[in-house]
A and B are shown apart, each in its own frame.
Chain A
Amino acid sequence: MPLSFESLAEGAELPNQQRTPSTEQVLAFCDATGTRGPQFLDPEFAKEKMGLPGPIIPGNMKQGFLDQYLRRHFGAHAITRLQLNHRRPDLHNVEMTIGGEVTKLREEDGKRYADLELHIDNPQGDRSVRGAATIAFD
């Protein structure tokens, strides 16, 4: 059941969700979106050329995960803003924890909005993405 504006409170946390994108999923994502970059699929390139621990999850794939996370909680209410700061790479086949918090509830020109902070954490508890979003309620 999607969350209503009335059910929200500033400071309230949204439930966490775990995602573990596999290499096959990353490949399918890159195919579907035309995302190019050997750092996403080539272990040798990621390690030798980029200095990364292994191939990484594309930033816009994490954007897709956050979009899904928001729709899961807010249903058809419109996402009018979604921002992500990519702070650390996330690796294939490693669990990510997606979470969020309501930071502000407001009304403007007769419309109601919820501003949110979002994040993605890796298994070490490091924040790989800090994000923000705004949901417009009908």
Chain B
Amino acid sequence: MSDDESLITPAMEAAIGSEGTPATDTIDAHRVLRLMRALNEADADLLAAAESGDTSYPMPTYALLTTSTRQEQLSVPDTPERALMAADAWQVSAPIHIGDTMTIVPRVAEIQERIGGRVGHSLFVHHEWVYTNQHGQEVARVRRTVTHFQQRHTGE
């Protein structure tokens, strides 16, 4: 394929805006604590709140990462197999607590392509997840951009 030829296929275009099945997950004290330990969390009050399962103490935004397995990344047809995360963006609009039940709705937000750069001709697929808590309140919008590329990464 020449560099002039677009990598965006009609099937990809059709995937833009598509939503997946909503998933639910609970902010679980045990998983949050494991994550805190993996990140060498130094905030003693936060660690104590997670250890005791305190449902009133505001958790850090990164607690949402414990729901990653329920954060389905919709597959986009025809994308090259090699892929790396290019960007993450969190918009947080409400506090996160242990015990919160989140409904997570995945969506393919946008697809762009780039010619040149470290990985050559590549595609940027923007995935979005909207998190809503058990009170129906939107808690966060998480957007992730994944670069799909055909040639090997330069390592730089």
Contacts and interface: CB of A to CB of B under 8 A. Distances in A.
A80 B82 CA distance: 32
Given A35-B68, A63-B62, A82-B61, A71 B43 contact: yes
Interface string A66-86: 011001100010111111111
B152 A33 contact: no
Contacts of A35: 68
Interface stretch (B13-21, B88-96, B105-113, B126-134): B88-96
Nearest to A76: B58
Interface string B51-87: 0000000101110011011000000000000101111
A64 B34 CA distance: 13
Q: Is the interface of B mostly helix, strand, loop or mixed?
A: mixed
B35 A68 contact: no
Contact of A85 (B41, B86, B91, B156): B86
Nearest to A47: B155
Contact of B153 (A50, A64, A72, A78): A50
Contact of A64 (B39, B82, B91, B95): B39
B154 interface: yes
Contact of A83 (B42, B68, B88): B88
Contacts of A67: 60-62
A35 B31 CA distance: 13
A25 interface: yes
B60 A60 contact: no
A108 interface: no
B11 interface: no
A11 interface: no
Interface string A11-47: 0000000000000010011011111000100000000
11 contacts: A33-B68, A50-B152, A51-B154, A51-B155, A60-B65, A60-B88, A68-B41, A68-B60, A68-B62, A86-B84, A86-B85
